[in-house]
Amino acid sequence: MSAAASGAPRASPLLASLSALARLGRFRFLAGGVVLYGLGTVLAARTRPLNLMAYAIGQCAITTTQLMTHYANDYFDLRADRANPTPTKWSGGSRVLADGQLSPKVAWNATLLLAAVSLVLDTWILLGIHVSPGTPLLLLVVLILSFEYSGPPLCLHARSLGPLTAGLVVGALTPLAGFGMQGGAWSRESLLAVVPTMLAQFAMILVLDFPDAVGDAKAGKRTMVVRLGRARTTRVCVGVMVATYASVPLLAWADLPIPMAAALVLTVPAGIWLAWTLLRGTWRRGGEFAPLVWRGVLWFTLVSLAEVAGALATIVGR
């Protein structure tokens, strides 16, 4: 029986298209950019008054760049996404283009629009806002690397450089942008604080690439998981996770605030859970990838939030 005959309401084509466009943007991933940009902002607030206008404009620049990346990734990875037999909620793209819900041209147009908005915001920051020296250039580097993550000519992810690029852009440059938008020279604490988040982001991207490996290989993408194989990539990923926690005492010795180091230690159980899933998880015996991917996202989220909480504790404790 048709929807009209049964009396069931039918979705407006426009509303359906707008819903698909929103899903194409994968807005849930934007939280990471908010948290890590916020980390840099909180660290800056330890030594200077918070400039809310600068914070808001910088956050808009980071968020539009991040959204541009999401639309660009789905556009450039369409072939791989269509060939992917094991997508999850957090990997394998949004499935909007792969399932034919929207034309790829829509994703490309959204990419261009968001890139233009990001450039306008970066120019505004350069010309009209007092920020740390080099911050506008840093934001431009973030925009370029974000596009080149999957876009030509570099296609960094397809050449095994995706985890390194994401670790640098999301884990390091985004917090430093938050700090720089508040003006003044970058502090030692801000540079030390990005080491764990950079390593954790690197490891999380490796985890997200596990379920995509078959589709990526069919599409000719030589991601790190495709190049090394899942067994060796597992060892690399666990090694990076170990390095994340091994860096904590060294960073504390080098002047990372003790509350931040202590907060990072509290995330060790989540790290052990993820490492166990990598080494002994059901995915290794033909099971689903969803638990592995979800635990990877959870671990990275907890590491990021732990640093923010630790930084806030240094302010409240004064």
Collect all residues with Cβ–Cβ distance below 8 Å to 237 and sequence separation of at least 6: 203, 206, 207, 278
Q: In this structure, is residue 19 part of a structural domain?
A: no
**Mean predicted lDDT score pLDDT of the chain:** 94
Q: Which of 6-15, 103-112, 138-147 has the lowest mean pLDDT?
A: 6-15
Q: Does residue 264 belong to any structural domain of this protein?
A: yes
Q: What is the CA radius of gyration of the chain?
A: 20
| Confidence band of 28 (pLDDT split at 50, 70, 90) | very high
pLDDT surpasses 50 at 1: no
Judge whether residue 6 has pLDDT over 70: no
Residue 7 has pLDDT above 80, yes or no: no
65 domain residue, yes or no: yes
In a domain, 7, yes or no: no
- pLDDT band with cut points at 50, 70 and 90 for residue 10: low
Please report whether residue 18 resides in a domain: no
Query: What percentage of the chain exceeds 90 in pLDDT?
Result: 88
pLDDT at 74 over 70: yes
pLDDT for the residue 283: 79
- Token pair recorded at residue 23: 């899903």
| Termini Cα distance of the chain | 68
In a domain, 260, yes or no: yes
Distance between CA atoms of residues 246 and 102, nearest Å: 45
Range scoring the smallest mean pLDDT among 25-39, 104-118, 275-289, 303-317: 275-289
Domain range for 108 is 24-316
Average pLDDT over residues 50-64: 97
How would you write 48-92 as a 3-class SS string? Answer: CCCCHHHHHHHHHHHHHHHHHHHHHHHHHCHHHHHCCCCCCCCCC
% of the chain exceeding 70 in pLDDT: 96
CATH of the domain at 188: 1.10.357.140
Position 87 in a domain: yes
Residue 202 has pLDDT above 90, yes or no: yes
Average pLDDT over residues 111-117: 98
Residue 96: which pLDDT band, with cuts at 50, 70 and 90? Answer: very high
In a domain, 4, yes or no: no
The residue with tokens 């690029």 is: 165
Q: How many domains is the chain built from?
A: 1
Q: Which of 5-9, 168-172, 246-250, 261-265 has the lowest mean pLDDT?
A: 5-9
Mean pLDDT within 143-154: 98
Q: Quick one: pLDDT at residue 186?
A: 86
Work out the pLDDT band at 286, boundaries 50, 70, 90. confident
